[in-house]
Amino acid sequence: MLRLWRATINSWNGLVFAARSEQAIREELFALLLAVPLACLIGTTMIRRVELVAVVLLLLTVELLNTAIEKLADRLTTDHDPQIGHVKDMGSAAVGVVLLMIAAVWGVALAERMGLL
């Protein structure tokens, strides 16, 4: 039980640090706050509402991982390194893929709500 408590504290500290240091994390937390009530309005079923919120949580998760990769890479060297640049670009691409997923899931949900599907 103590291990679970410590893991929870570490996770909370990581989220707080990321939110304080990264604008993208703050924006995605705001998007999550908007997604919860909007999902209740747009989602036609409970599972659709869960999916709408889950893809936004997935975005936050991938952004946290991308931020961790970038901070670690910056810590390794301040010199321009093409390989580190490629790693950072891949992290950014992962965030982009999740944004496309969000557009697809929310688009389908909106189409369902409007009776187009």
Q: How buried is residue 110: exposed, middle or buried, by Cβ count under 10 Å (0-12/13-18/19+)?
A: middle
The whole-angstrom distance between residue 101's C-alpha and the CA centroid of its chain comes to 11
State yes or no: is 63 an active-site residue: yes
Of 90, 98, 91, the residue nearest 56 (C-alpha): 98
Q: Which of 27, 51, 63, 112 is catalytic?
A: 63
DSSP letter for 52, please: H
Distances (CA, A) of 23 to 28, 63, 93: 9, 11, 18
Residues with catalytic roles: 63
